[in-house]
Amino acid sequence: MSKPVLLLTRRLPDAIEARAARDYAATLNSTDEPWYRDGAEIARRAAATGAQGILCAAGDPMNAATIAALPDSVRIIATFSVGYDHIDLAAAKARGIVVTNTPEVLSFATAECAFTLMLMAARRAGEGERMVRAGKWEGWAPTQLMGVTLEGKALGIAGFGRIGRELAAMARGFRMRIHYRDLRRAPEDLEQGATFHDNDETFLRAIDILSMHMPGGDATRKWLNADRLAMMKAGSLVVNTGRGGSVDDAALAAALRSGHIRAAGLDVYDGEPRIHPAYLDLENVALLPHLGSATIETRIAMGERALGNLDAVLLHAKVALDRLT
């Protein structure tokens, strides 16, 4: 029997591309050419190859127009991400296309990134690194680049899912107090003593550090706006490794400039790879290029999870483990 045809929109780890090439008639994007940003080009390549499956990634424009233009051969879209707000699920469902994601395997790595940003913001690590590289460091001084400790601080986790709970576990090792905001209270065994808040105001007023782990979409669009920033204590820290669109960039930049927010650490951006220009002029914000899941181990695990979903549908005629539609 001929192998199912699979289209990969992005360059993936070597082990994942090797497995895809072994089990499928795979078209790879081994040079990571930017055609993956163009939905019409994705549809054109799917049609040209007769793709039965598409392995896409976060940021690929799998919107209604792209899905409408896909050939009838496409049976499954597997995204190399836990988030799926770049895919129009209703459009895929209407065409009978299965959509899957890669949950569970990237929680620790993303929490690790959030904790990195917390430390960078609290201890002014970005400023110090830039000072050294610029040749401006003149030696140790008692008042140089004084930051704040994480010890004893109240960490507020907005979105207490897998990533948020992993971050809470790390923070307990730094003797931090955990507060969280979610739609509903977590079971006691998952809460592990964390304090639940059922409204934004009590949550934001109680914390010293906000770490955002919200899903994307209209419900969380610009959630962290001027009003909510004003609820936070003067000198608070903000970290976002969730969705860039959850932050009102102009409002956060203004709060950083005024000092009401002491510092921030960002790994995701609204409209990335574009970054709000105000951040680039601020020393008190640490900026990372969407590194949340960027460990060798995690990216391979994500690829294996995505291929497992593809295998279920295209090789074994089974229901995919992580089916969304």
The one catalytic residue in 191, 272, 304, 323 is 272
The one catalytic residue in 19, 162, 213, 243 is 243
Amino acid present at 87: I
The sheet carrying 236-240 orders its strands as 195-197, 177-181, 154-158, 209-212, 236-240, 261-266, 285-287
Tell me the C-alpha distance between 174 and 169, whole Å. Answer: 10
Structure tokens at 106: 């990237």
Structure tokens at 110: 């993303």
- The verdict on whether 243 is a catalytic residue reads yes
129-138 contact pairs (CB < 8 A, 24+) = 130/283
Q: Is the dihedral of CA 60, 66, 67, 70 positive or negative?
A: negative
Tokens 């650490």 appear where?
265
Cβ within 8 Å of residue 189, ≥6 positions away: none
Amino acid present at 214: M
The one catalytic residue in 127, 290, 304, 323 is 290
Tell me the C-alpha distance between 6 and 317, whole Å. Answer: 16
From first CA to last CA, the distance across the chain in angstroms is: 28
List residues bridging with 87 in a β-sheet: 62
Q: What is the dihedral of CA 90, 91, 96, 102, to 10 degrees?
A: -70
Tell me the C-alpha distance between 17 and 311, whole Å. Answer: 14
List residues bridging with 237 in a β-sheet: 209, 263
Residues acting as catalytic residues: 243, 272, 290
